[in-house]
C-alpha cells in the first residue's frame, strides 16, 4: 500500500496558480434552511404526497432531516424527491424524481429529534457519498440546469394506519 496525500476539488483549486475560484454551490455559499410540518392521516393511501417547500433546480442539498411524533405501523415506507409545482404542475418528467433524496424510510419508530435521512440517488441507482456534491438537476440525471423551481415532497409507498405530524427540514446552498 502507498501513502497518499489527496485534495478535494476545492483545495486543488485553492492551490492552483493562479488560484481558481470554486463554484459557490461547492464552497463559500450561504446556507438556506426551510422547515415544514404536515399531519398525515390514519386513512391516507399509497401514493399520497406531502409537499413541504420549494427548491431551485440549481441547489445543492446539504442535508434533509425528519421528525415524526407518533410511531406508525410496521411495514411503512416513504420516499422523498421533487415534483413540479402543485399549481399547474404535475410529475417531473424524469423517472424516479420522487425518490432522489431518500427511499424506503420507515415511520415505525418515533423521531423526537431531527434525524438525517438524506441519501441522494441519481435516478434511483442507489444513494452514494459521491452524490452529496451534486445539484438537484444532476441528481435528476439532466445534462443541464433547467432553471426551474420544484416542490419537495414525501410520498407514501406503504402508509401506516396511524396519523402523525411529519416535520421535514432541508438545508441547501445555491
Domain residue spans of the chain: 30-173
pLDDT of residue 57: 94
pTM: 0.81
Report the CATH number of the 30-173 domain. 2.60.120
pLDDT of residue 73: 78
pLDDT of residue 115: 94
CA distance 117 to 52: 15
Q: Which long-range contacts (CB under 8 A, 24 or more apart) does 24-27 make?
A: 24/173, 24/174, 25/58, 25/59, 25/60, 25/135, 25/173, 25/174, 26/60, 26/133
Which residues of the chain, if any, have pLDDT below 50? none
Amino acid at each position: 500500500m502507498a501513502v497518499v496525500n489527496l485534495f478535494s476539488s476545492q483545495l486543488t483549486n485553492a492551490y492552483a496558480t493562479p488560484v481558481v475560484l470554486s463554484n459557490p454551490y461547492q464552497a463559500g455559499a450561504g446556507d438556506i434552511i426551510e422547515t415544514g410540518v404536515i399531519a398525515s392521516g390514519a386513512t391516507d393511501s399509497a401514493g399520497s404526497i406531502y409537499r413541504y417547500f420549494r427548491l431551485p433546480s440549481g441547489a445543492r442539498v446539504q442535508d434533509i432531516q425528519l421528525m415524526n411524533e407518533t410511531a406508525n405501523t410496521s411495514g411503512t415506507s416513504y420516499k422523498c424527491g421533487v415534483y413540479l409545482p402543485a399549481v399547474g404542475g404535475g410529475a417531473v418528467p424524469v423517472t424516479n424524481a420522487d425518490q432522489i433524496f431518500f427511499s424506503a424510510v420507515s415511520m415505525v419508530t418515533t423521531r423526537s429529534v431531527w434525524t438525517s435521512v438524506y441519501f441522494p440517488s441519481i435516478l434511483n441507482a442507489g444513494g452514494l457519498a459521491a452524490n452529496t456534491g451534486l445539484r438537484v438537476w444532476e441528481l435528476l440525471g439532466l445534462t443541464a440546469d433547467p432553471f426551474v423551481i420544484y416542490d419537495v415532497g414525501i410520498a407514501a409507498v406503504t402508509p401506516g394506519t396511524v396519523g402523525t405530524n411529519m416535520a421535514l427540514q432541508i438545508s441547501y446552498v445555491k
